[in-house]
Amino acid sequence: MNARTKVSITAGTKSLEFNLPENARDVICAGSPTDQSVRDLVLDAITHPIAFPELGLAILDDDRVAIAIEDGVPRGPEIVQELVAWLLGRKLQPEQITVVLSGTGSIPLDAMRRALSDREGVRIVQHAPDDPEQLEYIAAAESADAIYIQRDLVEAAVVLPIYCIRHPEALSPSDLYAMSPGFADAKTKQRWNLAWLDDNRHHLHLQSKLSREAGWLMGVQFALAVVPSQDGGIAGLLGGDPEQVYRTAQSQLQEASYTEPATTKQDLVIASVEGAKDQQTWMNVARAMAKADRFLSPAGCLVVLCDVDRITDGIAQLASDEPDDELERTLLGGDLEDAFSAAVIRSVQAKRSVYLMAPLNPTEVEGLGLAPISGSADVERLSQRFRKVCLLRTSQF
């Protein structure tokens, strides 16, 4: 990377340009943006699916159809809007269609309502993992722990999950059915979270296996996977057999983006959360930090560039003086908004310095144990202090 060439980053409503040392690495975690419209992408995915007949052949006139849209899908409301339009064009009635949003709120309920404002009768439901009235039993783990899935998804004749493919090491990536943990009960989500925070690979494997079994038991036969782009948008949209879609989407993402360095660790990683405002969440900040942490030397520092503009109840707990392990357990045992994201952030900041550029009060940022930076000059000044510097673009994927 030429030091005289400015790097451009766009996160939400904020654009930033800065110079980096000429030997800095520029690592991209996503593919190239597509020039196809969302409508064309959706139509192509459902009329020319992978290892599956044209989707219309799998839906009967009286079927109840549930669309499950997970956390962090780029341009998610637009994809759902086009999918609903196609379903209604197949002679389904609006009352036969339910849209279920993941319980994280990264795709707000009001945004989905606006996208479907002209589709009166289509139900929109926000998944509540701690509400037993919304849940239905699916299976039991090897530990005899029960797993429940959002009731509308279990009872629908056809379930169409929409998820964003992420690198396998990413925080909370979906499996090929995208049912668990995103649409599971609170206790199942907590087991996933504890397994990740403890770095318990065996337990994570068991949870992933159970998640796949849950999707299989539900009879999910068709899935839609978004391959994210370098601007936080869409590089591609694939539909069809869940296993084949998952493999193909993973392959496309890996081919279009980076190869993680096996031995060379960085002294400074600048991780960007690029994309529209719906990508600017604390969950994506946590994903960016967890990914960047894998690139850093033990004494390395981390900069996160984002447009997160609100400190939620869970994130506010980072100001606590509790020991790191105790705070992480407290967060994971409660139900505060962004509690899991806060636990991940605490686990990273416990071992290294973390700088945050976001439209937040600098004093409040410092209170969270993060060092605030205000703009390009601060980024450039930090990059000059370190020998090995890496820019990690669209690091939430």
In a domain, 225, yes or no: yes
Q: Could you say which of 232, 253, 274 is where a domain stops?
A: 253
Looking at the structure, tell me whether residues 329 and 183 fall in a common domain. no
Which residue type, as a one-letter code, is found at position 133? Answer: E
Looking at the structure, tell me whether residues 126 and 147 fall in a common domain. yes
DSSP 13-63: TEEEEE---TT-EEEE-SBPPP-S-HHHHHHHHHHS-BSS--GGGG--TT-
Give the pairing of strands 146-150 and 123-126. Answer: unpaired
Structure tokens at 149: 């899935």
In a domain, 150, yes or no: yes
In a domain, 248, yes or no: yes
Residue numbers in the chain where pLDDT is lower than 70: 1-5, 104-106, 141-144, 199-207, 258-263
CA distance 156 to 213: 18
Looking at the structure, tell me whether residues 116 and 232 fall in a common domain. yes
Structure tokens at 45: 């995915």
* Domain range enclosing 364: 7-29+258-393
DSSP 200-266: -HHHHHHHHHHHHHHHHHHT---EEEEEEBTTSSEEEEEEESHHHHHHHHHHHHHHHS----SS--E
Structure tokens at 219: 């009879």
Q: Where residue 338 sits, what CATH number does that domain have?
A: 3.90.226.30
Q: Could you say which of 253, 268, 294 is where a domain stops?
A: 253
DSSP 311-325: --HHHHGGG--S-HH
In a domain, 336, yes or no: yes
What is residue 2's predicted lDDT score, i.e. its pLDDT?
47
In a domain, 2, yes or no: no
CA distance 28 to 38: 23
CA distance 82 to 183: 22
With vertex at residue 160, the alpha carbon angle to CA 155 and CA 165, rounded to the nearest 5 degrees, is 130
CA distance 164 to 168: 12
Q: Decide: 259 and 295 in contact? Cβ < 8 Å.
A: no
Q: Decide: 306 and 11 in contact? Cβ < 8 Å.
A: yes
Looking at the structure, tell me whether residues 82 and 213 fall in a common domain. yes
In a domain, 331, yes or no: yes
CA distance 164 to 236: 10
Structure tokens at 372: 């605030």
Q: Decide: 222 and 55 in contact? Cβ < 8 Å.
A: yes
Looking at the structure, tell me whether residues 157 and 232 fall in a common domain. yes
Structure tokens at 226: 């978004």
**247-252 long-range contacts, CB within 8 A, separation 24+:** 248/50, 249/165, 249/225, 250/165, 250/168, 252/31, 252/165, 252/227
What is residue 259's predicted lDDT score, i.e. its pLDDT?
58
| Count of domains observed in the chain | 2
Looking at the structure, tell me whether residues 330 and 354 fall in a common domain. yes
Looking at the structure, tell me whether residues 83 and 221 fall in a common domain. yes
CA distance 172 to 88: 33
Looking at the structure, tell me whether residues 110 and 236 fall in a common domain. yes
| Buried/exposed 43-58: b ≥16 CB within 10 Å, e otherwise | bebbeebbebeebeee
Q: Where residue 181 sits, what CATH number does that domain have?
A: 3.40.50.11440
Q: Could you say which of 237, 253, 269 is where a domain stops?
A: 253
Residues belonging to the chain:
397
In a domain, 1, yes or no: no
Looking at the structure, tell me whether residues 101 and 16 fall in a common domain. no
CA distance 240 to 58: 11
Looking at the structure, tell me whether residues 72 and 157 fall in a common domain. yes
Looking at the structure, tell me whether residues 284 and 241 fall in a common domain. no
Looking at the structure, tell me whether residues 248 and 103 fall in a common domain. yes
